[in-house]
Amino acid sequence: MTATKGPLRVLGQFISIVFHPLFIPGYITAFLLYLHPFAFAGYSDWNRTTKLISVGLLTAFFPAFTVMLLKLLGFAESIQLKTQKDRIIPIVASMIYYFWIFYVNKTLPDNPPEFVEMLCAVFISSIIALTANNFSKISLHTIAMGILAGFFIYLSWNSMIPMGLPLAVALFVAGLVGTARFLASDHTIAELVWGYISGIISFIIAVWVIG
């Protein structure tokens, strides 16, 4: 497929940046820290801030810095990782960062299981992404959206409080990002759909592992 040109492409690129895969763990963490009434109950403002910063560093800043470094050293053609070859080292590096943040938080007794499951799903998704990258340019955006949707579906199913609005927003964003990637990238529909499936499977495995 050829990416759409014009205003729709620009809009698709903007949405793709706002909901970049690197930001999704931080968004979910922020929701649990600041919007969910019980997930991190008892945490001080300082503890909430440091928790969010730690997740942001390991799931967004360090992976992004790795990509920038690879581009500067000539190991990647573009920071957008347009080819399967360009994706290999960044995914492996991200896998290490994701495992570390998951492992550290798994050992801390005051973390809610939903948070640990999300971090585990992000790590598992990197393994699936690296494997799938050998066969196709699977959409990393929709993998992240699969985790987002899976997380809020699971949270709604198990929560004692109404979660209809957060679930509706999550599903809307997941669909919006998939549409944006279809408009602004060279992904095929199959690559987008398999991304969603991979993300959801990652979360299901994480729930099984942690549970």
> d(Cα 11, Cα 74) in Å, to the nearest integer?
29
- Domain ranges for the chain, please list them: 7-210
Question: Is the pLDDT assigned to residue 3 strictly greater than 60?
Answer: no
Compute the distance between CA of residue 103 and CA of residue 99 in angstroms, rounded to an integer. 6
Task: Report pLDDT digits (tens) over 157-199.
Answer: 988 888 999 999 999 999 999 999 998 877 899 999 999 999 9
pTM of the model: 0.93
CA 137 – CA 154 distance, rounded (Å):
28
Kindly report the average pLDDT of the chain as a whole number: 92
Model confidence at 21: pLDDT above 90: yes
pLDDT band at 1 (very low <50, low <70, confident <90, very high): very low
Of the candidates 50, 27, 41, which has an alpha carbon nearest to the alpha carbon of residue 174? 27
3-state helix, strand, coil in the chain (%, to 5): 75, 0, 25
Of residues 75 and 165, which shows the higher confidence score? 165
- pLDDT in the model for residue 61: 97
* pLDDT score recorded for residue 90: 93
Nearest partner of 111 among 119, 123, 121, judged by Cα: 119
- 136: how many CB neighbours lie within 10 A of its CB? 13
The residue-averaged pLDDT of 114-143 equals: 96
Cα–Cα distances (Å) from 111 to 27, 48, 158, 187, in that order, read 17, 11, 17, 37
pLDDT greater than 70 at residue 4: no
3-state SS assignment for residue 5: coil
Contacts of 104 (CB under 8 A, 6+ apart): none
Query: In terms of pLDDT, which residue wins out, 81 or 166?
Result: 166
Cα 114 from chain centroid (whole Å): 15
Distance CA 138, CA 196 (A): 10
Task: Report the percentage of the chain scoring pLDDT > 90.
Answer: 76
| Burial 59-75, CB ≥16 within 10 A → b, else e | bbebbbebbeebbeeee
| Region of 74 on the Ramachandran plot (φ > 0 left; ψ -120 to 50 alpha; else beta) | left
